Structure 1
């Protein structure tokens, strides 16, 4: 494990809170329709790229935990897959299903 300085150790909780806040904002924007799934998948933010795909699906309107799990199986995406780990075909299947415009 890398060693971190005392300053980095003190800053870690604030950094983690900022990441959680950004992810919550993205999930809320998805739920409200202010962001499309295509826009989220194209995001360059590390916080978004490290989000589980399952969490994104659960943020879409009318999709809960059970339906998100079923959809991951149908789309051949692992339950533990993160946004940055999606392959081209997996990304395309998601966009075809939930974001036909883009």
Structure 2
């Protein structure tokens, strides 16, 4: 089963959310359904547009990568996103 470390953003592309999931399509749907909900970060900031993801074969590697990315500066995160999605287009998984 694949695992994904992913980055979403809000419609204005001003906030980033980093997460992990084993079902990217369903997780994005959850983020969309939670938009505007103040009890979650992604919901509070409307982070439901996928702009970057990485696929892993095991959960521990994906979790470690998520933690690593969360520790990066915004500049470094922006540069990572640009390596695969220079225009920050809103992506949908495979």
TM-score over 0.5 for the pair? no
* More strand as a share of residues: 2
Indicate the structure whose relative CO is greater, using CA pairs within 8 Å and at least 6 residues apart.
2
With the length of structure 1 as denominator, give the TM-score of the two structures: 0.30
More helix by share: 1
